[in-house]
């Protein structure tokens, strides 16, 4: 086997790259489906360019505790979510209008926890930090979720 690898190193690299691409694609598809991102994209895919306040260093959790590092933003019309470009397979940028979002705030021994429920029918959870909520409030201004946080 080692002789075969030594004789054809380029072929081994090509096969390795193909296997890595397949594993990456399958992982992205599974994460998108389990987290609810794919379901959200059917109704809330961003068309055009987002115009509002955003920050690309946000960590959030979605359904089944799936964690994303993404760009999170807000304007008067709604909430913007986008994963980094290299990880966009089955994760198109989303824009969810404020009337499709509910916010829940809870207190535990470990502090305040904030969760948004995205989509009235879908009800996909999005757990956020206090800093993320503050940034979203700034972007939404008077259109922020009424009576919340």
Residue-wise pLDDT tens digits, 35-51 = 999 999 999 999 999 99
Determine the structural domain holding residue 134 and report its residue range: 37-143
> Does residue 7 lie in a domain region?
no
Rounded-to-integer distance, Cα 67 and Cα 46, Å: 21
- Is residue 123 packed enough to be buried (19+ CB in 10 Å), middle (13-18) or exposed (0-12)? exposed
Number of Cβ within 10 Å of residue 137's Cβ equals 16
> Does residue 42 lie in a domain region?
yes
- The tally of domains found in the chain comes to 1
> Does residue 20 lie in a domain region?
no
Number of Cβ within 10 Å of residue 2's Cβ equals 6
Encoded tokens for 146: 């009424």
> Does residue 64 lie in a domain region?
yes
Give the model's pLDDT for residue 62. 95
pTM (2 decimals)? 0.84
> Does residue 149 lie in a domain region?
no
> In this predicted model, what pLDDT tens digit does every residue of 43-84 receive, in sequence order?
999 999 999 999 988 899 999 999 999 999 999 999 999 999
Residue 16: pLDDT over 80: yes
Q: How confident is the model at residue 10 (pLDDT cuts 50, 70, 90)?
A: confident
Residue 8: pLDDT over 80: no
> Does residue 26 lie in a domain region?
no
Residue 149: pLDDT over 60: no
Q: How confident is the model at residue 146 (pLDDT cuts 50, 70, 90)?
A: low
- Give the range among 4-18, 24-38, 70-84 with minimum mean pLDDT: 4-18
Rounded-to-integer distance, Cα 17 and Cα 14, Å: 5
- The CA–CA distances, whole Å, from 21 to 16, 85, 95, 104, 121 equal 9, 16, 28, 38, 34
> Does residue 9 lie in a domain region?
no
Q: How confident is the model at residue 87 (pLDDT cuts 50, 70, 90)?
A: confident
The CATH number of residue 101's host domain is: 2.30.29.30
Beta bridge partners of 55: 72
């Amino acid at each position: 086997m080692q002789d075969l690898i030594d004789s054809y190193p380029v072929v081994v690299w090509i096969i390795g790259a193909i296997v890595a691409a397949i594993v990456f694609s399958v992982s992205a598809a599974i994460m998108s489906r389990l987290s609810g991102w794919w379901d959200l994209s059917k109704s809330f895919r961003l068309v055009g360019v987002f115009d509002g306040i955003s920050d690309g260093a946000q960590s959030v959790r979605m359904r089944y505790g799936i964690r994303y590092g993404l760009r999170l933003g807000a304007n008067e019309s709604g909430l913007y979510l986008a994963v980094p470009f290299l990880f966009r397979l089955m994760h198109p940028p989303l824009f969810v209008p404020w009337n499709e979002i509910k916010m829940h705030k809870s207190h535990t021994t470990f502090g305040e926890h904030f969760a948004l429920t995205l989509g009235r029918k879908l009800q996909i959870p999005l757990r956020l930090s206090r800093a993320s909520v503050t940034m979203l409030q700034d972007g939404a201004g008077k259109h922020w979720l009424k009576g919340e946080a």
